[in-house]
Amino acid sequence: MAANKTKPTKAGVAGFIAALTDETKRADAKALVKLMQTKSGEKPQMWGPSIIGFGSYHYKYESGREGDAPLVAFSPRKAASVLYLGLGDGGSKALLAKLGKHTMSKGCLSIKRLADVDEDILEKIVARSVTAAREKHWG
Strand partners, 54: 44, 72
Judged against a pLDDT cut of 70, whether residue 33 lies above it is answered with yes
Closest listed residue to residue 21, CA positions, set 97, 77, 65, 103 = 77
Length of the chain (residues)? 139
* Mean pLDDT (the chain, rounded): 89
**Tell me, what DSSP letter sits at residue 10?**
S
Helix, coil or strand: residue 16: helix
pTM: 0.90
Measured on CA atoms in the order 101, 132, 67, 15, is the torsion positive or negative? positive
- Please report the pLDDT score of residue 113 as a whole number: 96
Separation CA 121–CA 47 (nearest Å): 26
Question: Is the separation of the CB atoms in 75 and 82 below 8 Å?
Answer: yes
Judged against a pLDDT cut of 60, whether residue 83 lies above it is answered with yes
Question: Is the separation of the CB atoms in 56 and 68 below 8 Å?
Answer: yes
Residue 93: which pLDDT band, with cuts at 50, 70 and 90? confident
- Please report the pLDDT score of residue 35 as a whole number: 97
Judged against a pLDDT cut of 80, whether residue 138 lies above it is answered with no
